[in-house]
Structure 1
Amino acid sequence: MKSPMYHITLSEEIKRLCPAFQGVAVMAQVTNSAHNSELWREIDAFTRELRAGETAESIKQQPAIAATREAYKRCGKDPSRYRPSAEALRRRLMRGLELYQIDTLVDLINLVSLRTGYSIGGFDADKIQGDSLELGIGRAEEPFEGIGRGTLNIEGLPVYRDRAGGIGTPTSDNERTKMGLETRRILAIVNGYNGREGLAEAAGMIQELLRKYADSDGGTILYFE
């Protein structure tokens, strides 16, 4: 039986290059589903709100997105070539495209990311090897298969690693630990490159959506820095 919560630490590189970083994780028992109409009504409502009030330039200035872009620069990655996922999702909607419909767990994590600007890692906790994760910086030619992206060059990207290697970056998570209809335990990590402000609200939003749409009690929360 795995620990009910993972031990998450920061590498010395991350501490030096991203000193403001604060994180929060939510771990919960869940039941996934292929589609939830009520959740998609929330997604559609946010989409209308975003398109009415945002521009391509204002997206980059959203505090959590701007801080993640700055973290990429500090770690050695061009955020205009490898966009943080929250920015990429907002830009997709602003281009008039619809959000990808994957499954309820992925869709609700995407909604929280869209609402808050945080790039959020969503993992099947039972696919993570070991009971600890470390946030470091990707190395040259480090193997990483992005979800739906094939081999991803993670050199210079912040990356969470388990015992077997990288599982998540703010641009893409890894196929190895992705969530699916079989997922029964979720680990969701919110990355606060601009500090702790807003993390509690994001974690609470994840818990609320898990209660509403994934037959969960909301799970437990872990702050780390």
Structure 2
Amino acid sequence: MFELKVSQEIRQACPVFAGAAVYAAVKNSTYSEGLWNEINEFTRELTTTTQIDDIKLQPVIAATREAYKRCGKDPGRYRPSAEALRRRLMRGIPLYQIDTLVDLINLVSLRTGHSIGGFDADKIQGNQLELGIGKANEPFEGIGRGVLNIEGLPVYRDAVGGIGTPTSDNERTKMDIGTTHILAIVNGYNGKEGLREAVEMIQSLLQKYTDSVGGEIVYF
């Protein structure tokens, strides 16, 4: 099990921050029809009830954007993942299909507005993650994005370096079809509200669509 810590610099910049995590043993798959039925249902609901300019006003997304500003990043240039995913759907671009674990995390992020780090737990170095703020020229390869400038972004670091930000996670610890243990971290820059619901949603979807063989909610 991992120890999850919040640095003093994050506590100062984002004093209401709270987080929750799910660790589980899983069996991944390339595609889940049931999960994609849920994703398509959410897409229809979002695109028929929301205007694109309203996305950044969703409370959790708005709080994450404010955290970016307090940490030194422009949220208009580096969007939180939940906001970017919703904007993608509103522009009529379908959600990309990766694999069941990644698609599942994306759905929970879309539903809740939380930016969620989804990691292959076996690729994390050491047993401790600390949430801090990215430094100038700190190396970070975003998934599908190449080198990402994480200066001023909230970032989780393991014993080697950064593995996850609300904008993108790192290639080094990404989930893939061979992932057998998942660590999913829900980031509440608006505080504790909605965290329990988000992690319970993750656990429920894992049990339905990934043959999860056990999970545990970890609060910090």
Q: Give me the TM-score of the superposition, normalised by structure 1.
A: 0.97
Matches within 5 A, 1:82-97: 82-97=78-93
Q: Choose which of 40, 47, 56 in structure 2 pairs with 1:44.
A: 40
**4+ aligned runs moved over 2 Å, structure 1:** none
Q: Is the 8 A contact 1:207 1:218 kept in 2?
A: no
1:206 to 196, 202, 209: 202
1:167 maps to which residue?
163
Aligned to 1:29: 25
Unaligned stretches of 5+ residues in structure 1: none
Look up the match of 1:156. Answer: 152
Please tell me whether the aligned partners of residues 33 and 181 of structure 1 are also in contact (alpha carbons under 8 angstroms): yes
Q: Provide the residue aligned with 1:63 in structure 2.
A: 59
Match of 2:120 among 119, 124, 149: 124
Q: Distance in 2 between matches of 1:215 and 1:36?
A: 11
Rounded Cα–Cα distance in structure 2 between residues aligned with 1:181 and 1:44: 22
Question: Given that residues 17 and 71 in structure 1 are in contact (C-alpha distance below 8 angstroms), is that contact kept between their aligned partners in structure 2?
Answer: yes
Question: How far does residue 223 in structure 1 lie from its aligned partner after superposition?
Answer: 1.0
Task: Report deviation, 1:58.
Answer: 1.3
CA deviation vs aligned residue, 1:50-84 (integer Å, no higher than 9, x gap): 00011122111111100000000000000000000
* Partner of residue 138 from structure 2, selected from 142, 145, 162: 142
Aligned ranges 1:96-111 → 2 under 5 Å: 96-111=92-107
Q: How far, CA to CA, are the matches of 1:218 and 1:84 in structure 2?
A: 29
Unpaired segments ≥5 residues, structure 2: none
Q: TM-score, normalised by structure 2?
A: 0.99
Give the Cα separation in 1 of the matches to 2:93 and 2:31. Answer: 19
Q: Take 2:3 and 2:199, find their aligned partners in 1: how far apart are those partners?
A: 17
CA distance in structure 2 between the aligned counterparts of 1:157 and 1:56, rounded to whole angstroms:
24
- Is it true that 1:112 corresponds to 2:108 in the alignment? yes
- Give the C-alpha shift of residue 217 in structure 1: 4.1
C-alpha distance in 1, partners of 2:213/2:10? 33
Deviations 1:82-139 (A, max 9, x none): 0000000000000000000000000000000000000000000000000000000000
CA RMSD of aligned residues (A): 0.6
* Percent of paired sites with the same residue: 73
Q: Name the stretch that deviates more: 159-168 or 215-224.
A: 215-224
Taking the aligned partners of 1:21 and 1:222, their CA distance within structure 2 comes to 15
